[in-house]
Amino acid sequence: MKVKSDTVPPTYMKTIGAAMPFLSVVIPVYNGERYLGEAIESVLNQPCEDCEIFIANDGSTDRSLELARQYERSDNRIRVVTHDNVGPGQTRNEIIPQLSGEWTLFLDCDDQVLPGFYSKDMKDFLSFCSTKQIETIVPCRLYGNADLSAANMEYVPFDEVFRRASDASWRIDYEFATLLYSTKLLHREHIEFATTRPAEMESIFRHKAAFCSNYCLFTNSIWFAIRRENPHQTTKSWDTEKVDRIRLQEYGKLIEWHKERGTTGYVLEETIRKRDAARIAVEHAGEKPPLIQRIRERRSIAKWRRERKASSRPIDEFVLDSKNQRAAIKRLTKMITGAVQE
């Protein structure tokens, strides 16, 4: 799984000719030279080659742009976009209108796509999903250690197909980057990221995508993303008080977004609950919980980390070979056929 990223191997001198790409991959990067090459190569190494890869350099001051340009010169599937530092939300928003693939995945520069994921069988399955109007796929995902030698599987709460505006749109409990999105959906519904910094509101992006999809598939049968435990991730150094203020602002906007669409019931109630929780956090900013509570929280986190490390397994054990992938796709195809009425 580990690949050196300081040079571009000649084996990546490939082309898809003039064919329209089927899969769009967006990789924003800010000072991510350490892992960027591995992320890019994890896409280039997939069995199917009909993809486009946007590397969006957000004002990096390290060698990220230089490395991205090397790959761009080596493979015409890669396009590099660069600008001054504006944050990941605006960086991704500038790419979305340019996407031409049928499906889109967002990949952080320190993460990877599992080997063998984008196979002919998977491409055919994604085409089938499009015919059934499934527009967001929420699979389980892997959470790996820093060198991606081992990982834990994190499961989604359902194996089910949900209609548009489902309550399940608030049950996507981890990063948007582990989902697959219909590009047509993103364009049709004008789904964008908040441009606030830090851009914590990726939760709203994935919620809107699932909510607006004609159908949304949750599944524990397939997976493709490896999230890396990285001590340098932006989230590790967030100003929590600022994040709470952003949450208050953005959930307030989301309430109005839902009201304009006539949303009622749990979805609107949960949005209001999240807004109110952010308001309480802002009102109590600077207050420390009682010492005994802080001790319990630290012990609980330490215990969770120990248990997680003890239960992790080598990454290779999670790679779906063609036989198991085909079996998983067969089960999902049957489930979708039964759930989606013509």
- DSSP helix/strand/coil, 154: strand
CA-wise closest residue to 139 among 124, 123, 117? 117
∠143-144-150 over CA atoms, to 5°? 130
pTM: 0.90
How many Cα atoms are found within 13 Å in the side-chain-facing hemisphere of 243? 13
Judging by DSSP bridges, how do beta strands 180-182 and 134-139 pair with one another? antiparallel
Q: Which option is the CATH number for 10-238+315-339: 3.90.550.10, 3.40.50.720, 3.40.50.1980, 1.10.150.170?
A: 3.90.550.10
Residue 238's φ and ψ, nearest 5 degrees, are -65, 145
- Domains of the chain, by residue range, sit at 10-238+315-339, 240-309
Helix residue spans in the chain (DSSP H) = 33-44, 64-74, 88-95, 120-131, 183-188, 202-212, 240-260, 266-283, 291-311, 322-339
Task: Find all residues with CB under 8 Å of 262, minimum gap 6, and list them.
Answer: none
Torsional sign, CA 135, 141, 146, 150: negative
Q: pLDDT tens per residue, the chain (342 residues)?
A: 443 344 444 444 444 444 789 999 999 999 999 999 999 999 999 999 999 999 999 999 999 999 999 999 999 999 999 999 999 999 999 999 999 999 999 999 999 999 999 999 999 999 999 999 999 999 999 999 999 999 999 999 999 999 999 999 999 877 656 899 999 999 999 999 998 876 667 899 999 999 999 999 999 999 998 998 876 555 555 678 888 999 999 999 999 999 999 999 999 999 999 999 999 999 998 888 888 888 888 898 888 888 888 899 999 999 999 999 999 999 999 999 999 975
